[in-house]
Structure 1
Amino acid sequence: MADQNGAGRNGTTRRAVLGGAAAVAAAGLSGGAAALAGGAAAADVDPLPIPGRIANPKHLNQRVYSGLFFGGPPKPFTRDNLYTRSPLDADRLDWSDEGDIAFAVAQVTKPGLNVIKLSYWGHEGGPQETDESAPALLFSKNRWPGEAGPPTYTEAEQIAKARQLFQAAEKANLLVTPMIEVSVLSNPFFAYFPDDLTQLVKRAGWLLRNFGDSPAFLRMFDRTGRPRRVISLIETIHGSPIDPVRFAAGFDRASDLLQAELGYPVGFTIDPSPNPPYGVHHGPEPAAIRQTRSVVAVNPFNITSQGPFDTEPERPETDKERLRYARNILTKWVSSGVPLIANMIPGYDAHIVFRDVPHLEIYGYSPEWLAAQRDLAVEFGTGGVSVDYWNGYSEGSAIPPTEEDGDRHLRWLAETVKLHRARWT
């Protein structure tokens, strides 16, 4: 299942992929996205810090509403051969000038999101880093297609490219949290954590050193009310049974190492869902995670990649079975005492990338699916909502308008954000 052309999630990188079906009109999604998004009321006085809420001044004490975002121009092979959704504004996606970057960022604000969760596979050009595994090319070592200059970027050029995104986000009143991707060859979190923190600290440290000074870098309050710059993590599980207290302590040790180097506290959002489907859940347990200083929120990712079964079925899962599994994961973590950012997707379709792979059948997209995903997010998202992905065109999970779905998913997300804000005000 190795994807050498940056198609998306696969077995080699241990990403439990999601899934989707032919797009169906979503009932009840009417009106413009901006109107549906709603907004947070401004406070008359500075409120006390609320654990799990945003600490940046312009979004003080707001919940997180985020989208998993692949930055930079699309990888040509992925765009030309692997997309299952076709963006309507494809000519604006090449990031050839600051106007295109501003356009890409401005789209994120339309449904009411306040945070970009920025995918980061690594910047050194190694195996399963950005050049090989990512569907888009921000942080690539190789120069972007059509751009004049030497074949590879200097590190300073890579940093400058990414800082353009942070600057555009700041202008759009958005925040950014880098999300460190997991892969077997470059970042096998499931194998090294919590005993060897070298790779996690190296990657998080590079991101924080080069972008942590940006006003747009997400900060959140921890359980004591202390603001921390936030690094998002995915697939934070262990490959074999482990003491959950020992596992949880690894996050605090990593945070302490980063603070010793950088001089400020660092927090994490974690993902307690497994990869591959029907994989292990070892590591994160609510009671242990609740005692950490550095975990500011739980943000599950792979909550519809399988059904609620103890053993792997020989048949495809139904949408209802996938939704039952999602509810099980969210139910476990909503009672943990740790803020829960509930994730959702409109559907999943990676039938080109993951052809004939069990449990990665096309699913979702129906009015019933969209309503169920919306309702789960509104019910369980004590800390906010994340849509994963924002622009996953090769995996059929895209929010911006596409030829196949129009603006249906944009309106669905805007409705969800509006309902969630009303529910949790």
Structure 2
Amino acid sequence: MVLKKYILSVLIYLLGTTTLSAGTYPIWGRLANPGFENQPMKNAFFFCGSSRDGVQYYEHCPTPNIELYTIHPSDARHLEWSEDAANREFAIDTMTQAGINVVNMSYWGPRGTDNWTWWAPMQTSTYSHDELFETTLNKDILIVPYIESAAATPGSPGFSFMDCFPGDPDNPAPEFIMILKDLIQRYLLSPQNERWPTKWARAYDRSGYERYVISIIHAASNQDGVTDQIFADGFDHIANKIFNETGVLVGFTLDALPPDTYASGRFKPSPTTTGPWLAQQESILAIQCFIPEISLGVTDEDYLVEWKHTFSSMWIHTGIPFIQDISPGYDAHIVFPGPVIYGNNESWRNALGQIILKLKSQGMTFSAWNGYTEGYAGVPTVEYENDVYEWAGDLFKNFETESLHPIPGKIQAEDFVQMAGIQTQTTDDDRGGLNVGWTDIGDWMDYKVDVCDAGTYYVDLRVAKTNDGSEGKGQIYKGNQVLATFSIPGTGGWQSWKTIQTTVNLETGEQTLRLLVTTGGWNINWMKFKPDPVEKYHELPGRIEAEHYADMFGIKTEKSMDDTGTGLNVGWFDAGDWLQYDIDVKEDGDYELSLRVALDNAMPEGQGALLLDDTTLCSFDVPVTGGWQSWKTISKQVYLRAGQQKLKLLVTKSPWNLNWMEFAKTSNIQ
């Protein structure tokens, strides 16, 4: 099997080359189409349109469908889009203006004859898909067909998948493959318009090859005797069979839903049991949650943020690219919402933005289906509101804000902007958190840094490795230039940590550094960049820029719009995060402490504390200031003793941003 996969990989390589420019690396799970290279997927799920013949919805709502939207997606007899070309144009323009670069197209095929037998008969007309491909031809947006595997199983009572996933390795998923080949024939091999194939989204797999993307929702991994390994292996079996029969290389984004949420969740793949097997499949492009926010009616925002963070983290730790769901809230994706709709508000949007940036999600998706006319309609028309796209657009802008790591400074290994091949895990090292592991030759992590001053920097790397007689090896790159090469000795175990050191020469300014694994089998927790072996102390009285910390836990940096600082601020705080500074107080006395802070009006007030050598110096409240880049200075009175000390800023209630701290002498000791 390994040899077969190797031969297939060689064929794929010979069949085509990447469109990336020299010195640029393909990123697993990112788009590969010309003009979209390495862009994260920013998706909108939607059904292609409305029933034009006024059929009844279904037995629970016998009202004719006379609007432009499909009133209930499970009952559309003819899922055809609006007959008005202006409406179709408006829909796609609205999406692209919001920043959406992928629209997920429902496909139940083949040729519109499949159905959900436990609901009303459903037929999907390929005519609506033709319209979608045609409408996007001159737009900066791509199409990903999505297939609900339950609907791809003839006679299914809902969640029986043996005919669909994965089936016999020699004859995998025959019903699913029939549907997929129908799609490939219509839109890639024999399209009515020769430009249609350019609109089908392609993405890079874990080896850097381009694959046509198929989104799969509602696929079960533990039904009818299907084990996690058999389920995962099925995807490569399907992709290989499709390639052998059509010459088209496909890959999959896979829906995942926790077992405590939706009725079908108990059948879904698990990050702990299925995830490790899925991570080994060449055809798995990303985990893309369809509706993970459905939590049986729970609308407590704090609870849901924590729940969403935990669930997303578990999948991200598998190393598979994770596309974060950003739906406005509970039931916001369906046409008949529950009694309480939450989420279309500033605080929920900001909370989701924090999760996306904190976890380094590889993309975003929202599942606002068409039909809900209070602003969530997945296919907007001129006559209806399109609030959901404006809302999503704000989150997309958040997603594009990259965290900059200041140098000198410390970078947690898991705080990469891009990576290939690695996974993260909980670390036993001091101060906890995560470390990067499961390193193999060729794996890498990219870090966006801002170097304060050009020169030589000492780099401490916190590493761990078993005592197996071999050495791990790695390099630090900038572009195509090797800045440093280092070796990792055995340290006594995967969680037995040791600090090694190398040096790099860096130019000033923003740049991307790559940590490349040249010999695998080692873990890394963090890197610390220092201008020389001697600790630098901040002299007080004076100002300390927030990003000039000696150590930290949990925070990230960003470009600041405050005109009183040096260009960066710190933020994305969670309770328990901290920053540590080495200070040198010139004389004992009372000092006025000024903190430059920002907090969005939609959030409750934040709180923090300053500790001097682990003794509380003061506590403070952070008021709302009008926005994350609307700055205000707050003040406290503190007493400092002379000498070199460690000052820690502790976040006790989040979130809020910090630009700088300043200590001004107010009196002398008598």
Query: Normalising by the residue count of structure 2, what TM-score does the alignment of the two structures yield?
Result: 0.46
1:343 is aligned to 2:356: no
Is 1:272–1:281's contact at 8 Å kept on the other side of the alignment?
Answer: no
CA distance in 1, matches of 2:333, 2:361: 33
Match of 1:112 in 2: 99
1:393 is aligned to 2:372: yes
Match of 2:285 in 1: 296
Counterpart amino acid of residue 199 in structure 1: E
Q: Where do residues 17-416 of structure 1 align in structure 2 (5 Å cutoff)?
A: 47-74=24-51, 76=54, 77=56, 95-122=82-109, 123-128=111-116, 132=120, 139-140=124-125, 158=126, 161-183=128-150, 186=154, 190-192=160-162, 193-195=165-167, 197-212=173-188, 214-240=197-223, 242-273=226-257, 277=262, 279-284=265-270, 285-306=274-295, 318-349=300-331, 362-380=341-359, 382-389=361-368, 391-393=370-372, 397-398=376-377, 408-416=387-395
CA distance in 2, matches of 1:67, 1:352: 14
Counterpart amino acid of residue 210 in structure 1: R
The structure in which a higher percent of residues are strand is 2
DSSP-derived class of the 1:364 partner: coil
Rg (Cα) greater in structure: 2
Instruction: State the shift of 1:86 in Å.
Output: 10
DSSP-derived class of the 2:281 partner: coil
Counterpart amino acid of residue 116 in structure 1: V
CA deviation vs aligned residue, 1:223-275 (integer Å, no higher than 9, x gap): 11110111100122235474322211010011111111210211000012157
CA distance in 2, matches of 1:351, 1:388: 6
Measured at CA, do residues 119 and 377 of structure 1 come closer, stay the same or move farther in structure 2, by a change above 3 Å? farther
CA distance in 1, matches of 2:130, 2:395: 30
Instruction: State the shift of 1:403 in Å.
Output: 11
Instruction: State the shift of 1:132 in Å.
Output: 4.3
DSSP-derived class of the 2:286 partner: strand
DSSP-derived class of the 1:346 partner: coil
CA distance in 2, matches of 1:58, 1:403: 29
Instruction: State the shift of 1:110 in Å.
Output: 1.2
Count of matched residue positions in the alignment of Structure 1 and Structure 2: 346
Instruction: State the shift of 1:401 in Å.
Output: 6.8
The structure in which a higher percent of residues are helix is 1
* Uncovered stretches (5+) of structure 2, i.e. residues with no partner: 1-19, 70-79, 190-196, 403-416, 418-447, 449-670
CA distance in 1, matches of 2:358, 2:184: 33
DSSP-derived class of the 2:43 partner: strand
CA distance in 2, matches of 1:354, 1:415: 25
Q: Which has the higher contact order (CA 8 A, sep 6+)?
A: 1
Instruction: State the shift of 1:82 in Å.
Output: 9.8
CA distance in 1, matches of 2:335, 2:377: 16
Over aligned residue pairs, what C-alpha RMSD do you find? Answer: 3.8
CA distance in 1, matches of 2:84, 2:376: 26
Measured at CA, do residues 173 and 405 of structure 1 come closer, stay the same or move farther in structure 2, by a change above 3 Å? closer
DSSP-derived class of the 1:297 partner: strand
Instruction: State the shift of 1:331 in Å.
Output: 0.8
The percent of aligned pairs where both chains have the same amino acid is 27
After TM superposition, the structure 1 stretch with the greater mean CA deviation from structure 2, 247-256 or 64-73, is: 64-73
Counterpart amino acid of residue 419 in structure 1: N
Instruction: State the shift of 1:388 in Å.
Output: 1.2
Is 1:316–1:361's contact at 8 Å kept on the other side of the alignment?
Answer: no
Is 2:357–2:399's contact at 8 Å kept on the other side of the alignment?
Answer: yes
Is 1:82–1:352's contact at 8 Å kept on the other side of the alignment?
Answer: no
Counterpart amino acid of residue 55 in structure 1: A
CA distance in 2, matches of 1:267, 1:352: 28
CA distance in 2, matches of 1:64, 1:303: 18
